Amino acid sequence: METTLRGVGVSHGVAIGEVRHMGTAVLEPPAKQIPAEEAEREQGRARQAVEAVAADLTARGNLAGGEAQHVLEAQAMMAQDPELMADVERRIAVGSSAERGVYDAFASYRALLANAGEYLAGRVADLDDVRNRIVARLLGVPMPGVPDSDEPYVLIARDLAPADTALLDPALVLGFVTEEGGPTSHSAILARALGVPAVVALPGAGELAEGTVIAVDGSTGEIFVEPSAGKRAEMESAVAARKAALSASSGPGATSDGHKVPLLANVGGPGDVPAAVEAGAEGVGLFRTEFLFLDDSKRAPSEEKQVAAYRAVLEAFPEGRVVVRVLDAGADKPLDFLTPADEPNPALGVRGLRSLLDHPDVLRTQLTALSKAAQGLPVHLEVMAPMVADRADAKAFADACREAGLHAKFGAMVEIPSAALRARSILREVEFLSLGTNDLAQYTFAADRQVGAVSRLQDPWQPALLDLVALSAEAAGAEGKSCGVCGEAASDPLLACVLTGLGVTSLSMGAASIPYVRATLAKYTLAQCERAASAARAADSAEEARVAAQAVLSGE
């Protein structure tokens, strides 16, 4: 009998297939004492296992490339954390086996993360995956991971570690469903990059029996268990219609009456550029530069290394617009040379622009490298600061850009509610705004973007978040300046229409979402988008806002 479940849709598309469950986590190793004379050997075993897992994660990242590579390299660094390894060796020295020492040390570190504020708590799943891989290697048992299957299937998991998500084979994994996670979790971001339909934060997903046929709608978040023949036909027809619309859509982003809405790509480095170009991106709306700095948490990359990486991206968009975000360190991206190690709540502490203003040499080097990278190129370079709170922040960043001799537009990201509320004041100092809806939602609702239990508050359809977007766009319009969206909200085709109706002037997203957004925008006039935006803001919940906007655009 067909039943319907609802989670959070995070990656477009429809998948129909049999359920296969993720491999179970590693069992807790026994707490046995080892003789003192074996401690050195056990410590060596632990070090070898850690290095092997770190190397495997790095290799997986190299194979996957793009966003996945940055996530997996961060996990490899987590595995090799010197303080964590020192704790492992201390535990072995007093009698623990290698596997038990690893298990207990990671448990202690896990508790620290879980209690360090919701932002860092969101990294617990990544830490658990690293622990499981090390312990599995020490025990000589198969790694936890994606099941073996000769037939395509829908993958079910409590959560998906980046190492597994990054190398999913879309020919076999039709889609995936997780009990935990949120719309901006690592798994969600990587699913969109892979083009795999996905639903997260579905309570009870693990109770779906192996072999059960389900239909997954990655746009709506609906799961149809044992779908009827009629439901299958309906969904397959929708898939065919969507493919036809995508293939017929090309060129710059615009509404049906010609209102231009440039569609840009979010990239993490040169590896993400080919997909963006293939998708028809009109430029880059968010170039995350963290990938260069995460290679070595002890020191910043040289100016020469930065110039080469930036130029590789800038050259791919001749005469296009490339918006670069300067280093956004802190919180879940700590760097030893830049961010404090003892903050009680790093997400609310010294991160983003605050870190850079405390280390002006790091900011100056990056701005100088960007200036040199753009020399001689016809690209339209724009540079923006993360985590701008007020006009003073905006002025400090603009002054730093000018002092570095940077010939580019200077902008501010709107990720803190104060920046949206005082957007017009901030625009006295900078030339554009870019809304990072992921962090803006996190700070507006006090809801960590990685925690599934609060995912409803991370839904970008929340009317309060739309109000803040509208405030920012209205301020930019009044000042004759631009206001784009580079958060994950822009990747939702229906929401892209609403954002356009709110006055947003450009949309930036993962490359895989660009064709969907382009095709959807082309179906509606600007006036329809504006009416849909008004209807969404008048709602009292995210779901009501989505339904109201859809009703307007459907002519109901």
- Other C-beta atoms lying within 10 Å of the C-beta of residue 24: 9
What DSSP string runs through 328-372? --BTTB--TTTS-S--S-GGGSS-THHHHHHSHHHHHHHHHHHHH
Q: How far is CA 333 from the centre of its chain?
A: 13
DSSP letter, residue 264: E
**Residue 30 and residue 101 in contact, taking contact as beta carbons nearer than 8 Å:** no
What DSSP string runs through 129-158? HHHHHHHHHHHT-PPS-PPP-SS-EEEEES
> What tokens appear for 137 in the block?
């290697």
| 274 three-state secondary structure | helix
What DSSP string runs through 157-214? ES---HHHHTT--TTTEEEEEESS--TTSHHHHHHHHHT--EEE--TTGGGSPTT-EE
Q: How far is CA 53 from the centre of its chain?
A: 23
| 384 three-state secondary structure | strand
**Residue 432 and residue 411 in contact, taking contact as beta carbons nearer than 8 Å:** yes
**Catalytic (active-site) positions:** 186, 486
Per DSSP, what are the bridge partners of residue 8? 200
Per-residue burial over 335-346, b if 16 or more Cβ lie within 10 Å, else e, is beebbeeebeeb
Residue 49, C-beta contacts closer than 8 angstroms, at least 6 positions apart: 98, 102, 134, 137, 138
Give the β-pairing of 506-509 and 263-267: parallel
The H or E element that residue 223 is part of is strand 222-225
What DSSP string runs through 309-324? HHHHHHTTSTTSEEEE
